[in-house]
Amino acid sequence: MSTQTLPPKTEAPVIVREYVDRVRGGDLGALPAVLGLVVLTVVFSAFQPIFFSPGNFANLLTQGAVYVVIAMGLIFVLLLGEIDLSAGFTSGVCAAVLAITLTNMGWPWYASVVAAMITGAVIGLVLGTLVAKIGIPSFVVTLAAFIAFQGVVLLLLKQGTNISVRDPTIVAIANRNLPPWLGWLMAAVTVAGYAAVQLAQARNRARRGLPTTPPLLLAARVGGLALVVGLVVYVLNLDRGRAVVLQGVPIVVPVILVLFLIWTFVLRRTAFGRHIYAVGGNAEAARRAGISVDRIKIACFVICSFMASIGGIIAASRANSVDPNTGGSNVLLFAVGAAVIGGTSLFGGKGRALDAILGGAVVAMIENGMGLLGYGAGQKLVVTGLVLLLAASVDALSRKRAAATGHR
Amino acid sequence: MSSQAPVLELRGIDKSFGPVQVLHNVAFSAYAGEVTALVGDNGAGKSTLVKCIGGIHPYDSGEYYFEGNRVQVNSPRDAAALGVEIVYQDLALCDNLDIVQNMFLGRERKSGLVLDEATMEEMAAKTLAGLSVRTVKSLRQHVSSLSGGQRQTVAIAKAVLWNSKVVILDEPTAALGVAQTAQVLELVRQLADKGLAVVLISHNMNDVFAVSDRIAALYLGRMAAQVKASEVTHSQVVELITSGRSGELGLKNGAAT
Ligand SMILES: Nc1ncnc2c1ncn2[C@@H]1O[C@H](COP(=O)(O)OP(=O)(O)O)[C@@H](O)[C@H]1O
Ligand SMILES: [Mg+2]
């Protein structure tokens, strides 16, 4: 087939065949995470019916939110083939800044939130500069930061006292819900917006005689999204309260949705995003194309730590307090796990914001489901570690396969 | 064929990597509408010279003229702004990006803040069609899924996409089979016939004589000779490459004629 004689429309069976080819070629995309979600749901529901209740579903979302948000930031660093081991404690430091300014100093909530976010961005700027300009491997820089930030949290919290967070707005983020009508409105806007963007794109391409996605596939995508979003909002709008009515989409959901849309836009639709992939794929080629590799690297570390600060704010909201363990123990492991399970490659050059959500859901399900089955922290950590290892193996193997079959 | 002023001219280029001097007082010219072959043994400094031209490596001293004007080229962007495009020996493509994304890398078309994918795809298709390329299935396939010849073609298309005036190809046929080599050479000739100044680096004397108008021979980092292809024989060029001189031509005690 030649470029000139390409049919203007790619037929549906061709798309299916191309997808199968891609999977065979080692580009698994969202497949492992989606499979994982299905298997976990079936297994946990079979052993513990409560797992499959609206109450637990809402619980899962707020539980996973911190991992999802931190993972979404980590993806930028992973796209470069770098790592940020300090993201967990960065979120802890930022949460401490939030709690101190809010509770001890009496700042308004928005000022505290901005202070926490700036703290995150500055941390990212320092880490990124050390990696890009001085040339220290990110593993070492962020391992040092991992240890140091643990101390910083202790120092900020005066040797480990815990600071409570009572501001109603901050507490609402992880503990309150949208009124049901607003949930439905959000769902409608999301689906309509997605459909409009897809349609406008297809129109534009068709007008210029470029190959377009077949209408059937477009309809299937929009329909699929509508089904998933509708189902989620419906379940979350059911009354899940025991004594009083408790219903609605948790506020963290629109927060994550907005972050997801922003970063997806940045990665897929802007030159900056394109350059991130280029640096991760072939840094020398990016440099020769006139891209400032250092600046891209620093920006990615800033985004990562900035997202960690938002993760810290959500963690503080969920716990109603900040203590020396906020952002500690398994938070980083779970966030890296979320990104990798979602399909982001540890070798750089491959990853999407969506990976954080899919992988974060898997991680949250393991934590939540095993908790419901009565397993302790020890078993949960072992299983999560194994799942991360499994995801990393899938990543490495699919990379090998891709090299062998000439894909990616 | 003309003997007008060169589009690109270098004079007295010196370049060292640490204590090792790789280029010594190198002069080099490329002319519009002509293919200039740059030949030399492995390690002679061909790729280094090309990277100096492309702004990848800063040169230590020397003068860089473009269309008669003295210019400073300190980065790949400077070279691109002049209209100098280089197809590197290692191609410098990103495997995780598709053909269109690679062709526009670093110079993406935007409408406002947003990438204008449709325009880029259109332009890429036109350029590839202009080069009579018929072998790629989709412009949206990842470069990693392409064959060696296809990758070479994408790299060349990337270079000619930008109304460039000088296109430099660093050993474009080294890794290709017979048929693909012929295709690439035809492409090289096409570019020169369109009025571009083309510089072709190659080890293969048959390739060099098949398409070149001029031949420049580097010997151990020194320009041994730059001559018209019609005025030398295969064996003379081979001598220039291997010993830096051939009869009247070439280096005499380290100085070029
Ligand atoms: N980045 C570099 N650092 C140090 N030495 C280099 C570098 N690039 C090339 N060289 C050296 O410069 C010399 C010329 O290399 P090169 O220009 O690649 O030769 P050619 O392309 O003619 O085969 C070689 O001796 C090589 O080892
Ligand atoms: Mg070379």
Per-residue pLDDT of chain A (408 residues; tens, 9 = 90+): 344 444 445 555 666 777 777 777 667 778 888 998 999 999 999 998 888 899 999 989 998 999 999 999 999 999 999 999 999 999 999 999 999 999 999 999 999 999 999 999 999 999 999 999 999 999 999 999 999 999 999 999 886 788 999 999 999 999 999 999 999 999 999 999 999 999 999 999 999 888 888 888 899 999 999 999 999 999 999 988 888 888 999 999 999 999 999 999 999 999 999 999 999 999 999 998 989 999 999 999 999 999 999 999 999 999 999 998 888 878 998 999 999 999 999 999 999 999 999 999 999 999 899 999 999 888 888 888 888 888 889 888 888 877 776 554
pLDDT at residue A25, as a whole number: 67
Taking an 8 Å cut-off on Cβ atoms, the answer to whether A271 and B110 are in contact is yes
Cα B46 to middle of ligand 2, angstroms: 6
**Residue whose structure tokens are 């001029």:** B214
Ion ligand 2: residue ranges with CB closer than 5 A: B 47, 89
Task: Judge whether A393 is closer than 8 Å to chain B, CB to CB.
Answer: no
Task: Judge whether A322 is closer than 8 Å to chain B, CB to CB.
Answer: no
Per-residue pLDDT tens, chain B, 257 aa: give them: 445 789 999 999 999 999 999 999 999 999 999 999 999 999 999 999 999 999 999 999 999 999 999 999 999 889 999 999 999 888 889 999 999 999 999 999 999 999 999 999 999 998 888 777 667 778 888 898 888 888 888 998 888 888 889 999 999 888 788 888 888 898 899 899 989 999 999 988 889 999 999 999 999 999 999 999 999 999 999 999 998 888 778 787 544 44
List B219's β-bridge partners, or say none: B222
Least Cα separation, residue A209 to chain B (angstroms): 9
- Measured from the CB, is residue B39 less than 6 Å from ligand 1? no
Taking an 8 Å cut-off on Cβ atoms, the answer to whether B92 and A281 are in contact is no
- Whole-angstrom distance, CA of residue A156 vs CA of residue A150: 10
- Whole-angstrom distance, CA of residue A143 vs CA of residue A147: 6
Cα B48 to middle of ligand 2, angstroms: 7
Taking an 8 Å cut-off on Cβ atoms, the answer to whether A4 and B134 are in contact is yes
- Measured from the CB, is residue B221 less than 6 Å from ligand 1? no
Residues 6+ apart with CB under 8 A from A223: none
Question: What is the per-residue pLDDT across A117-143, written as a single tens digit (0 to 9) for each?
Answer: 999 999 999 999 999 999 999 999 999
- Measured from the CB, is residue B17 less than 6 Å from ligand 1? yes
Residues 6+ apart with CB under 8 A from A203: none
Interface test with A, best of B95, B133, B154 (most A CBs within 10 A): B95
- Chain A residues with CB under 8 Å of B137 CB are 1
Probe residue for ligand 1, chosen from B22, B90, B219 as the CB with the greatest number of ligand atoms within 8 Å: B22
pLDDT at residue B177, as a whole number: 80
- Whole-angstrom distance, CA of residue B47 vs CA of residue B49: 5
Give this prediction's pTM.
0.90
Residues 6+ apart with CB under 8 A from A388: A333, A336, A337, A340, A341
pLDDT at residue A5, as a whole number: 42
How many other CB atoms are there within 10 angstroms of residue A108's CB atom? Answer: 12
- Measured from the CB, is residue B58 less than 6 Å from ligand 1? no
Probe residue for ligand 1, chosen from B13, B14, B17, B87 as the CB with the greatest number of ligand atoms within 8 Å: B17
Cα B20 to middle of ligand 2, angstroms: 17
Select the residue of B94, B122, B136 nearest A285 (Cβ to Cβ): B94
Cβ contact A51:A364 at 8 Å: no
Select the residue of A1, A210, A291 nearest B118 (Cβ to Cβ): A210
Give the chain A residue whose CA is nearest to the CA of B104.
Answer: A289
What is the residue range of A122's domain?
31-176+250-405
- Measured from the CB, is residue B47 less than 6 Å from ligand 1? yes
Probe residue for ligand 1, chosen from B13, B15, B47 as the CB with the greatest number of ligand atoms within 8 Å: B47
Backbone angles phi, psi at B30, to 5 degrees: -130, 140
- Whole-angstrom distance, CA of residue B235 vs CA of residue A301: 57
- Whole-angstrom distance, CA of residue A312 vs CA of residue A67: 10
- Measured from the CB, is residue B40 less than 6 Å from ligand 1? yes
Render A75-95 in DSSP notation, one character per residue: HHHHHTT---TTHHHHHHHHH
Please report whether residue A11 resides in a domain.
no
- Measured from the CB, is residue B22 less than 6 Å from ligand 1? yes
Tokens of A86: 């300090």
Cβ contact B114:A270 at 8 Å: yes
**Which atom of ligand 1 is least distant from the CA of B45?**
17
**Residue whose structure tokens are 């009515």:** A245
Question: What is the per-residue pLDDT across A161-191, written as a single tens digit (0 to 9) for each?
Answer: 889 999 999 999 999 999 999 999 999 999 9
- Chain B residues with CB under 8 Å of A350 CB are 96
State the count of interchain CB pairs (< 8 A) between A and B.
106
Classify domain B8-83+164-250 by CATH architecture. 3-Layer(aba) Sandwich (3.40)
Backbone angles phi, psi at A302, to 5 degrees: -65, -45
pLDDT at residue B144, as a whole number: 87
pLDDT at residue A4, as a whole number: 43
CA-derived radius of gyration, chain B: 18
Q: Where are the domains of chain B?
A: 8-83+164-250
- Chain A residues with CB under 8 Å of B132 CB are none
- Chain B residues with CB under 8 Å of A287 CB are 56, 76
Of chain A, the end-to-end C-alpha distance in Å amounts to 21
- Whole-angstrom distance, CA of residue A195 vs CA of residue A223: 9
Domains held by chain A: number:
1
Outline where A85-130 has alpha helix (H): 87-99, 109-129
Q: Specify the amino acid at residue B116.
A: D
- Chain B residues with CB under 8 Å of A282 CB are 92-95
Tokens of A20: 């199968």
Taking an 8 Å cut-off on Cβ atoms, the answer to whether A286 and B106 are in contact is yes
Please report whether residue A14 resides in a domain.
no
Cβ contact B104:B120 at 8 Å: yes
Tokens of B104: 């526009």
pLDDT at residue B90, as a whole number: 84
Taking an 8 Å cut-off on Cβ atoms, the answer to whether A408 and B135 are in contact is no
CB contact residues (below 8 A), chain A span 195-214, against chain B = 204-205, 208, 210-211
Please report whether residue A212 resides in a domain.
no
**Residue whose structure tokens are 């009124």:** A179
- Whole-angstrom distance, CA of residue B88 vs CA of residue B210: 21
Convert B184-214 into a string of H (helix), E (strand) and C (coil): HHHHHHHHHHCCCEEEEECCCHHHHHHHCCE
Half-sphere exposure of A367 (CA within 13 A, CB side): 25
CATH number for A117: 1.10.3470
**Residue whose structure tokens are 């069609």:** B129
CA-derived radius of gyration, chain A: 22
> What's the ipTM?
0.88
Please report whether residue A36 resides in a domain.
yes
- Measured from the CB, is residue B2 less than 6 Å from ligand 1? no
Closest by alpha carbon to B93, among B104, B84, B102?
A: B102
